[in-house]
Chains A and B, each alone.
Chain A
């Protein structure tokens, strides 16, 4: 029983440490300017509906680190494969294609 508690404590520390570190990061000037940019992009996306970037950020990280870059030449094939795996809608696929291979 003791070892479960020890491990649970370590997991909690890892989790809280991450949350705390991210909160600290959000207070830095760079993060605040990023926050402003994000909020302005959010307000513009709310008026225009979901963007490809939002679909990318929300879905890719469900399973893996989002790739830094993919050649437009192969993007269509990759997105088809990901659409099958992540059960994405046709609309999400089109938004991702516009975002990744404009």
Chain B
């Protein structure tokens, strides 16, 4: 009887919470109608994301990797957004790695499923499963339809335990904005979870960067403290620069953690400003160099020996959302040197889920 009363009280509590949430959402929706009076932007739910295929040969072992990553975006007015991304990745290799028929399986993972409240310039709050805001890759360059080289840097797992997602809350926004610069921040806390599709490590951390809009230069640092098992710190300063006068994209990051340190330096050059035939202007050349030096034995998805790698890529953009990607890389370590080849196709899609409401 007592447990039944407790259960009823619990349900009542949830009901109250949902009613309050619904009232808040409807208030935001009303505010939205006033905010957008100066433009014709629609706030309809959409499904976006990417679809692609990658043919990878790493040290003589071929992998076939078809991938679809739908991103669901459901706005509630212009201040609340529900967003989620799920990866469906096929991974097929020959039965004995170099001989036999291709075998494999399709992996599914929820990268993030979060509710955002875009309160104002200074505060945007997120709750749920979110991508850890660490360095340049996790949140921004990780989608395969965005990244210039399909292979991630070898030290990308620094600061991204348990797959790079956190379960908890995050605050972010613009601390200071002036015409010549803006100071941006993120701060988060994630609880430990082993629930299927919600795996996360207990961590706390943040990221701060200064963005100079005129030279298109961003300089920032990410910090994270792992609050379980070994309490270790990770820190990664980074820089991103797209000089306005030239079609070059420069990105670099240094990563340090208990298990090792390393850096990567990537540059991409678009041919679209060159005085060459139009079909060649759709080319993009990419180069990346990186080194990693393990500490305390390495491990945790990081190399256990000193590793260096160089990559060259050539991408061809049919349109801004459809491209062929290709790259050649060579990895050097005391165990073995290996060639890595990639060729594939990536397509970014955006589809509205239902018609815009009448204003």
Q: Is the interface of A mostly helix, strand, loop or mixed?
A: helix
Contact A11 B38 (CB under 8 A): no
Point out residues on B near A: beta carbons under 8 Å. 35-36, 38-46, 48, 71, 73, 75, 78, 81, 83, 116, 118, 120-121, 124, 126, 139-141, 146, 172-174, 177, 179, 182, 184-186, 211, 213-214, 216, 218, 240, 242, 244-250, 265, 267, 269, 273-275, 285, 287, 289, 308, 310, 312, 317, 319-321, 332, 350, 352, 356
Contact A87:B46 (CB < 8 A) given known A25-B273, A74-B352, A101-B40? no
Contact A58 B216 (CB under 8 A): yes
Contact A76:B218 (CB < 8 A) given known A4-B289, A10-B287, A63-B141? no
Contact B139 A85 (CB under 8 A): yes
Inter-chain contacts of B75 with A (CB < 8 A) = 76-77, 80
Chain A 82-102, CB within 8 Å of chain B: the 1/0 string?
011111111100100110111
- The reply to whether the CB of A14 lies closer than 8 angstroms to some CB of chain B is yes
Contact B245 A26 (CB under 8 A): yes
Contact A87 B44 (CB under 8 A): no
Inter-chain pairs besides A74-B44, A76-B44, A87-B186, 8 sampled, C-beta below 8 Å: A10-B312, A11-B267, A14-B287, A49-B179, A58-B214, A71-B352, A97-B38, A97-B41
State A98–B289 Cα separation when bound (angstroms). Answer: 40
Chain A, interface size category, equals 35 or more
Contact A54 B213 (CB under 8 A): yes
Chain A 10-44, CB within 8 Å of chain B: the 1/0 string?
11001101110111111010000000000000000
Contact B116 A84 (CB under 8 A): yes
Closest approach, in angstroms, between the C-beta of B353 and any C-beta of chain A? 9
Contact B265 A102 (CB under 8 A): no
Contact A87 B216 (CB under 8 A): no
Contact A15:B248 (CB < 8 A) given known A3-B332, A84-B116? yes
Rank and list the top 7 A-B pairs by shortest CB-CB distance, nearest first. Answer: A76-B41, A22-B246, A76-B43, A101-B41, A73-B42, A87-B184, A89-B121
Contact B172 A100 (CB under 8 A): no
Inter-chain contacts of B78 with A (CB < 8 A) = 76, 80
Show 19 A/B contacts (Cβ-Cβ < 8 Å), sorted by A: A3-B332, A7-B310, A15-B250, A17-B269, A23-B246, A25-B273, A57-B244, A62-B140, A63-B146, A72-B40, A73-B42, A73-B352, A76-B41, A77-B43, A77-B46, A80-B43, A81-B48, A89-B177, A100-B41
